Amino acid sequence: MKNIYMDHQAAMPVDERVMKFASRFLTGNFMNPSSQYSLGLEARGAVEAARENIASLINAETSKNIIFTGSATEASNLAIRGAAYRNADKIGRKVVATEIEHMSVLNPIKELSKNGFETVLVPVDKYGIVDLEKLKEAVTEGTVLTSVMLANNEIGTIEPVREISEIVHAAGSLLHVDAVAAAGRIPIDVQVDGIDLLTLSSNDLYGPRGAGALYVRKGVKLQSVMPGGGQEKGLRSGSEDVFAIAGMGEAARIAAEEMVDESARLMKIRDGLIAGLLKIEQTYLTGHPVNRLPHHVGVRFTAIEGEGILLWLDKAGIQVSTGSACSSQTLQASHVLLATGLQHEDVHGSVVMTLGHSSSADDIDYVVKTVTDTVDRLRQMSPVWSGRK
């Protein structure tokens, strides 16, 4: 039986080249990068080289703008809570985000609301594009931070960050961008796009888990959310995981070199899958049809449950994700799909396929046929399917 992994947005394998590069800091030079002897200095050199590679990937002014964390979730917490608490007295106590942000952004914002901050969530259109007029209304004087993701992990839609930045900065607010889903797949330029804070994830670049990074524009002040020994400019204390950080840096270097060709390759597979899946009766694309990530396929099928599709496809050797209720930790329907105007019954049949290095054009026919057969089988068992034979 074939095994076709199509859930790269949830987890990516560590690139073999990355593992080969970074493994010496796991089993060989395990030294603390704060140590002053030669092996410690070598570890420090690996951390700083990784910082350079990540800065290059997003066109940061210098590597000094990069702060390492233990995950993307931690990086977003540092950006959101750190910026809000540090700058509340100077700028204001209002925080704005879109309705489709990742929970690692929405939950820190909810925490701020419990501590005296006003929070506003801006709606999106049916494709998941933020409503710029509503954003202008929301980001007023006194808005300390606005958070908008560069591309959505559930529907693949890419946001107009440059226009968003202009609106945010006109009101004197700081802009945080969650770039986890987009990094390594589309170009990122924090200087041109006017981004103040930007979150990255190691594993979403084919690097090891256990590392994330936050870009902090020069002049932006943050309050530490993890006080301790003062590592990472005092913003993220704790001994650095040199293996994970070195691996993230190498993954960023490879992504910068290969992104254009790899994204073009995946786009062809993506388009082939979308075309094949949309031939299935009452199947609809989620997210923007054009302004979407090159590796992202999101569709929904009426009258069936996404988790049922997931389980049947898994039996056939195909791993996918779903925005359906029972697939989430909270047992709630996808807030992203609901924000695009879909009803609960529409959200239940959603499936997300995210491609990667292992994906091949040879997979298209098998995946489309297997999904078609699965959807037909499940619909024949569905009490709400009007086309039952």
**pLDDT per residue as tens digits for the range 41-62:** 778 888 999 999 999 999 999 9
Q: Which residues neighbour 148 within 8 Å (Cβ) at sequence distance 6 or greater?
A: 97, 98, 101, 130, 159, 161, 164, 175, 176, 177, 178
The answer to whether 81 and 116 are in contact (CB under 8 A) is no
Q: Is the pLDDT of residue 125 over 90?
A: yes
The answer to whether 146 and 173 are in contact (CB under 8 A) is yes
Q: What is the mean pLDDT of residues 266-293?
A: 97
More confident of the two residues 4 and 225:
4
pLDDT band at 26; cut points 50, 70, 90: confident
The answer to whether 317 and 4 are in contact (CB under 8 A) is yes
Confidence (pLDDT) at 386: 73
Q: Is the pLDDT of residue 102 over 80?
A: yes
Query: Which structural domains are found in the chain, ordered by start?
Result: 4-11+259-381 (3.90.1150.10), 16-254 (3.40.640.10)
Separation between Cα atoms, residue 173 and residue 195, nearest integer Å: 11
- Please state which of the ranges 36-50, 204-218, 270-284, 370-384 shows the lowest mean pLDDT: 36-50
Average pLDDT value over all residues in the chain: 93
Dump pLDDT digits (tens) for 174-191. 999 999 999 999 999 999
More confident of the two residues 2 and 141:
141
Confidence (pLDDT) at 325: 42
Q: What is the mean pLDDT of residues 21-34?
A: 80
Q: Which residues neighbour 120 within 8 Å (Cβ) at sequence distance 6 or greater?
A: 94, 95, 96, 97, 138
The answer to whether 95 and 240 are in contact (CB under 8 A) is no
Confidence (pLDDT) at 236: 86
Take residue 265 and report the two structure tokens written for it: 């390759």
Confidence (pLDDT) at 328: 53
Q: Which residues are catalytic?
A: 326
Separation between Cα atoms, residue 59 and residue 237, nearest integer Å: 25
Specify burial of residue 216 (Cβ count, 10 A radius: 0-12, 13-18, 19+).
Answer: buried
Dump pLDDT digits (tens) for 202-241. 999 999 999 999 999 999 999 998 888 778 787 887 878 9
Q: Which strands, in side-by-side order, build the sheet including 143-147?
A: 66-69, 212-216, 197-201, 174-178, 143-147, 94-98, 118-122
More confident of the two residues 325 and 304:
304
Confidence (pLDDT) at 37: 76
Separation between Cα atoms, residue 67 and residue 4, nearest integer Å: 35
Confidence (pLDDT) at 324: 47
Q: What is the mean pLDDT of residues 124-138?
A: 98
Confidence (pLDDT) at 327: 45
pLDDT band at 326; cut points 50, 70, 90: very low
The answer to whether 320 and 296 are in contact (CB under 8 A) is no
Specify burial of residue 285 (Cβ count, 10 A radius: 0-12, 13-18, 19+).
Answer: middle
Confidence (pLDDT) at 40: 73
Percentage of the chain exceeding pLDDT 90: 80
pLDDT band at 28; cut points 50, 70, 90: confident
The answer to whether 206 and 226 are in contact (CB under 8 A) is no
Confidence (pLDDT) at 346: 83
Report helix, strand or coil for 55: helix
The answer to whether 24 and 154 are in contact (CB under 8 A) is no
Element (H, E) at 97: strand 94-98
Q: Is the pLDDT of residue 113 over 90?
A: yes
Dump pLDDT digits (tens) for 235-260. 887 878 999 999 999 999 999 999 99
pTM: 0.94
pLDDT band at 323; cut points 50, 70, 90: low
CA atoms within 13 A on the CB side of 288: 18
